[in-house]
Amino acid sequence: MIKELRLFFIWSTVVFLFFTISSSKLPPYILPIFPAISIVMGFLFSKNGGHPVRKKWEILLYLVFFIIIIFVSFNLNTDVFYKWASLISKTAPAVMIELKVFFILVAILSAVVSFFMIIYFKSLDYRKIFILLTCFSLSFVTVLLSQRDIIDRLNTTKGIANIINAKRSKDDLIINYGSFDQTLLFYTRQRLFIASYRGELDFGARYEDAKDYFISDGEFVNILNSEKRVFCVVKEKRLNHIREKLFKNIYAIECLEERCVFTNMQ
């Protein structure tokens, strides 16, 4: 291991392993790994520069990676793929099929990169690899963004937020029961209350500036019984618990991928 990079290797490894083992996984958790990885990659490409790739197995690894992408992109209609997609969500298999154009374009991009690597196999240097990977990454992101309307259908939080936004007024409250959907704040543009918080959410409740937004079951029931209209986002399996143990007058609006929205008023 290069001495100058030892800290960054340890940094990225610790973050990756910690959140891989953790039972709770949210997209922002992995963000701390990217500065370390960026520094390592930048250092390696800068150091090697125009030096030729002497170990040809490195190029073969890149080729295998892109060949796998091509293979997967053209084998979406298999039972294995459907089973894997169904683990993401109920709508994922249908959405993935609609993304056929996206996968074909990614396969073409991979084929183009593979073609250049094969053509320049003997004379390929790290600068050319860097340029190829950069072009592939930028093209991939561009193609991905062009399909965002289809991909958004996998985002159940956005769907839940759209349901709430279509029915709520400015003074209505929104409560997350038993969990915290971080992007719900973004899509509703409103501060949330969190009820029945456990685990890592319990740590958040200890901060002085956040205490008022973490409420107990008793406070939750009092709010539901108030004259305020409340929209509550809860997992479907907990809906009956609330109805039977806490508040009977639930008016369920809609459920998406095992998460439901209900209100205390019609």
Q: What is the pLDDT of residues 132-178, one digit of tens each?
A: 988 999 999 999 999 888 877 777 788 889 899 998 888 899 999 98
Residue 23 has pLDDT above 70, yes or no: no
Dist CA 142 CA 73 (whole Å):
17
Same domain, 21 and 120: no
Same domain, 131 and 174: no
Neighbours of 188 (CB within 10 A): 21
DSSP 231: E
CA 88 to chain centre: 11
Return the amino acid letter for 100: K
Q: What is the DSSP pairing of strand 230-235 with strand 173-177?
A: parallel
Residue 1 has pLDDT above 60, yes or no: no
Residue 119 has pLDDT above 60, yes or no: yes
The rounded mean pLDDT for the chain is 84
Dist CA 192 CA 166 (whole Å):
17
Same domain, 132 and 166: no
> What pLDDT sits at residue 212?
83
Same domain, 161 and 255: yes
Q: Which residue has the higher pLDDT, 207 or 224?
A: 224
- 190-201 mean pLDDT: 82
Same domain, 185 and 222: yes
- 70-77 mean pLDDT: 80
Residue 209 has pLDDT above 80, yes or no: no
Query: Is the distance from CB of 95 to CB of 54 less than 8 angstroms?
Result: no
Same domain, 35 and 62: no
How many domains, in total, are found in the chain?
3
Query: Is the distance from CB of 181 to CB of 157 less than 8 angstroms?
Result: yes
pLDDT bin (cut points 50, 70, 90) of residue 63 is: very high
pLDDT bin (cut points 50, 70, 90) of residue 24 is: low
Its pTM stands at 0.65
Q: Which residue has the higher pLDDT, 69 or 46?
A: 69
Domain range holding 29?
Answer: 1-48
Same domain, 67 and 119: yes
Sign for the pseudo-dihedral over CA of 190, 195, 199, 205? positive
Helix or strand or coil: residue 195? strand
pLDDT bin (cut points 50, 70, 90) of residue 38 is: confident
Nearest to 154 by CA among 230, 221, 54, 85: 85
Among 16-30, 66-80, 112-126, the least confident range? 16-30
Dist CA 35 CA 11 (whole Å):
9
Same domain, 66 and 162: no
Q: Which residue has the higher pLDDT, 265 or 2?
A: 265
- 109-122 mean pLDDT: 90
Residue 49 has pLDDT above 80, yes or no: no
> What pLDDT sits at residue 237?
85
- 242-247 mean pLDDT: 84
